[in-house]
Amino acid sequence: MNDYYWSILNGAVLTVGVSLAALAVSVVLGLIGAAAKLSGRPLLVIPATVYTTIIRGIPDLVLMLLVFYGGTIGVNALLEMAGSEATLDLNPFFAGVFTLGFIYGAYMTETFRGAIMAIPRGQFEAAAAFGMAPRQTFMRITAPQMVRYALPGFTNNWLVLIKSTALVSLIGLQEMTYLAKQASAATRSPFAYLLFAGGLFLIFTWASLAVLRKLNARYSLGTKRIAF
């Protein structure tokens, strides 16, 4: 295995890092968005609905470029208006993490919202009757069941998010897709290196499914298991 393959393997570590960091951002935004949409308060419901509608309707590539290039231009314009001579260059890693997290936060919002709505309302009424505080109700009743109902949709979102990390190569982040394209251009042998990168994505997918299936089995004890 030549140096190009080793560089792609090193880039795969960065790909995993971007994926996990973006997943953390998307889960936080998803929980906030789901809580807002289920709150019944127009001041929270409307912004959350606008967020999920717009983000799910714009291609990921367009959003990536808008955040990276548009964000840089916008911040520098504000700095210039404030009389500052400083300029800001967005770090491709953080731009990629934030953008992917922001995009998939919209999908996680709908996943978590649907999972919470699937929990029988009588359980919340029973918790209130026992005098449970909202935090206790969430920790003891909502969260455990939400995980079970959300896992199939969460799994799908995660697998798509992993593949979407290939988009950050367009803003200069040297993850494995970027390095595979560089190796292909240098050797004029695109098939081998791109196929190698594709194989690594498949390994990530297989490993993710193995972990999430075990998690699904853990949260489905005593119930009919949902296969994915």
Which of the four CATH numbers 1.10.3720.10, 3.30.365.10, 3.30.830.10, 3.30.360.10 does domain 3-219 have?
1.10.3720.10
Which pLDDT value is given to residue 222? Answer: 56
Q: What is the mean pLDDT of residues 121-126?
A: 75
What sign results for the dihedral spanned by CA atoms 70, 72, 75, 80? Answer: negative
Question: How many other β-carbons are positioned within 10 Å of the β-carbon of residue 95?
Answer: 21
Per-residue pLDDT reduced to its tens digit, 54-70: 998 988 888 888 877 77
Per-residue pLDDT reduced to its tens digit, 164-193: 998 888 887 888 998 998 888 888 877 888
CA–CA dist 60, 58 (Å, integer): 6
222 — alpha (psi -120 to 50), left (phi > 0) or beta?
left
Contact criterion met (CB below 8 Å) for 155 and 128? no
Name the residue ranges covered by the structural domains of the chain.
3-219
Which pLDDT value is given to residue 17? Answer: 93
Q: What is the mean pLDDT of residues 86-112?
A: 87
40 — alpha (psi -120 to 50), left (phi > 0) or beta?
left
Q: What is the mean pLDDT of residues 113-119?
A: 87
Which pLDDT value is given to residue 202? Answer: 94
CA–CA dist 31, 154 (Å, integer): 12
Q: Scanning the structure block, which residue is given the tokens 């292909």?
A: 184
Question: How many other β-carbons are positioned within 10 Å of the β-carbon of residue 162?
Answer: 21
Contact criterion met (CB below 8 Å) for 96 and 20? no
- pLDDT > 70: what percent of the chain? 95
CA–CA dist 193, 188 (Å, integer): 10
Contact criterion met (CB below 8 Å) for 161 and 208? no
**Identity of residue 30:** G
Whole-angstrom CA distances from 17 to 20, 26, 94, 155 are 5, 14, 11, 18
CA angle, residues 178, 181, 183, in degrees to nearest 5: 110
Contact criterion met (CB below 8 Å) for 26 and 150? no
CA–CA dist 56, 101 (Å, integer): 13
CA–CA dist 89, 132 (Å, integer): 49
Return the closest-CA partner of residue 95 out of 16, 170, 11, 179: 170
CA–CA dist 111, 225 (Å, integer): 18
How high is the mean pLDDT of the chain?
85
